[in-house]
Amino acid sequence: MRSFTAEWVVPIHGEPIHHGFITVQDGRIAALSRRSDAGADPAAIDLGRAAIMPALVNTHTHLELSHLRGVIPPTGRFLDWIRAIMAMRREYPDPGDARIIDAAHSAIVEARSSGTGLIGDISNTLVTPQLLREARVPAQVFYELLGFNAGDPESMTREARAKADAAASPDGTVRVGLAPHAPYSVSPRLFAAIRADLDAHPGHVSSVHLGESPEEMEFIRRGTGPWRALLEELGVWTGAWEPPGTSPVEYLERLGFLDRRVLAVHGVQLAGDDLDRLRSLDMTVVACPRSNRYVGVDSPPLEAFYAMNVNVAFGTDSLASVQDLNLFSELAEARRIAPRVPARSLLESATLSGARALGFGDEYGSLEPDKRAHLISIRLPEDVSDVEEYLVGGIEPSAIAWLEPETPNAQLPTSKSRN
Ligand SMILES: [Zn+2]
């Protein structure tokens, strides 16, 4: 049994506890209270001026693109970025390339050292589940399928399912499911095949990039524009595909693909009716605001998401479109573009909402008795009057320490060692 006390304990599902106290037993949270309450362990490790909170959840990234950090410059035109990514994928044809593996491994270490404890990872090659297992980072990996003109979506999905099952960890710590890439790169039949797989696996979740760019909106509504040009260039355009004439959300809803187990990633272009649909389906939008700016699609309407009561989680997206995997930096960008959203709501999005959306809500994302003790401590400066607001202002990794699970060589920032 180990106990910690600090100036603040931030449980996420309730008010921050001033002079809080938390006890951990066998890797799970045993108790949580004010320090003055009866039962507080006098032998508790005192962290002093710090906030204890659950590890953050990065609900959307692509670890296997980590070797592209800083390679593709920010752009004002989304299709330029897409073309650059496609060219880079051709330059690294071997998914087991040591440069890819090393960069993905470093990215996992970096994410963890910036306080992230659970990851939603998109993979086209399935090299990441093994890396996540080795690093002991719980994760939901989405094996992403593309095919605007796929010949046999059913057998493609069957084969993908077999690979996904083989890559998952037997103890359920690293799960692997199937996910379609986006409405403009996946055929209706492939969507149906992936949906059938999801229906056959009731505990699983899926994910789709949705409403990211204006080019996507134009293509789904009218079948025209830069996406059409790219599909033709790639030789996969087919006249059998009829433009739905709707928004991407309405299109996928009509296909029967959407429900609460499908994460809608980005949502930059969504408003009004689409947000209503997502809310009534109890879906989660995963916002990646720093990446959105980087790839030239503007910022997501975060205040509208919260005002419409849509579930919101946060992701960094890949290192090909963001400077680092520090989810606290994502929170700072969220605060910048959504100044009226309460800090507590932003923090909940970065923890509990992400954990729930990934199917890990019973174990992670908040400090509650019996949940896993995935605890981080944030060093606070003097005179923090609103700890929740402080935590969404951008936190550097140097101020972050893991308390549980303990890591070898980790230095606990006790009040004594700071004197
Ligand atoms: Zn993505």
Mean pLDDT of 248-272: 97
Query: Which residue spans within 139-237 are E strands per DSSP?
Result: 139-145, 174-180, 206-210
230-239: long-range pairs with CB below 8 Å, 24+? 230/79, 230/82, 230/83, 231/148, 231/184, 236/148, 236/149, 237/148, 237/149, 238/148, 238/149
The Cβ of residue 163 has, within 10 Å, a number of other Cβ atoms equal to 15
**Ligand 1 centroid – CA 315 distance (Å):** 9
User: What mean pLDDT do residues 165-170 have?
Assistant: 96
- Checking if the pLDDT of 414 tops 90, the result is no
Q: What is the pTM of this model?
A: 0.95
Q: Tell me the pLDDT tens digit for each residue of 391-403.
A: 999 999 999 999 9
User: From ligand 1's centre to the CA of 124, what distance in Å?
Assistant: 11
pLDDT at 157 over 60: yes
pLDDT for residue 409 is more than 80: no
**pLDDT above 80: residue 260:** yes
Kindly indicate the confidence band of residue 40, based on its pLDDT and cuts at 50, 70 and 90: low
Q: How far apart are the CA of 329 and the centre of ligand 1, in A?
A: 17
CA dist., res. 366 & res. 394, Å (int): 20
pLDDT of residue 415: 46
Residue 407, pLDDT score: 62
Q: What is the mean pLDDT of residues 76-92?
A: 91
Give residue 317 CA to ligand 1 midpoint distance, Å: 5
Q: Over the Cα atoms of the chain, what is R_g?
A: 22
pLDDT of residue 416: 40
CA of 47 to the centre of ligand 1 (A): 37
Instruction: Tell me what the pLDDT averaged over the chain comes to.
Output: 94
- Ligand 1 centre to CA of 77 (Å) is 16
Confirm if 260 and 282 have CB atoms less than 8 A apart.
Answer: yes
Distance separating alpha carbons of residues 267 and 52, to the nearest angstrom: 31
Residue 207 CA to ligand 1 centre (angstroms): 10
Cα–ligand 1 centroid distance for 212 (angstroms):
10
Question: Could you tell me which residue, 413 or 236, shows the higher pLDDT?
Answer: 236
Q: Model confidence at 38, in pLDDT bands (50, 70, 90)?
A: low
Mean pLDDT over residues 250-278, rounded?
97
Task: Read off the pLDDT of each residue in 123-141 and give the average, rounded to a whole number.
Answer: 97
* Position 121 pLDDT exceeds 60: yes
Q: Give the residue-averaged pLDDT of 263-274.
A: 96
Q: Please tell me the distance between residue 374's alpha carbon and the centre of ligand 1 in angstroms.
A: 26
Cβ atoms of 226 and 172 within 8 Å: the answer is: no
C-alpha 35 – ligand 1 centre gap (Å): 43
Q: What is the pLDDT of residue 41?
A: 72
In Å, how far are 25, 90, 219, 236, 253 from 149, measured between CA atoms? 53, 20, 16, 6, 20
Provide the pLDDT confidence category of residue 411 given band limits of 50, 70 and 90. Answer: very low
Rounded to the nearest angstrom, the distance between the alpha carbon of 183 and the centre of ligand 1 is 13
Pick 411 or 119 by higher pLDDT: 119
**How far away, in angstroms, is 62 Cα from ligand 1 center?**
6
Please, which pLDDT band fits residue 31 given cuts at 50, 70 and 90? very high
Q: What is the pLDDT at residue 418? A: 35
- Ligand 1 centroid to residue 205 C-alpha, Å: 16
**Which residues share a beta bridge with 20?**
6, 34
pLDDT at 42: 75
Burial class from Cβ neighbours inside 10 Å (0-12, 13-18, 19+) for residue 13 reads: middle
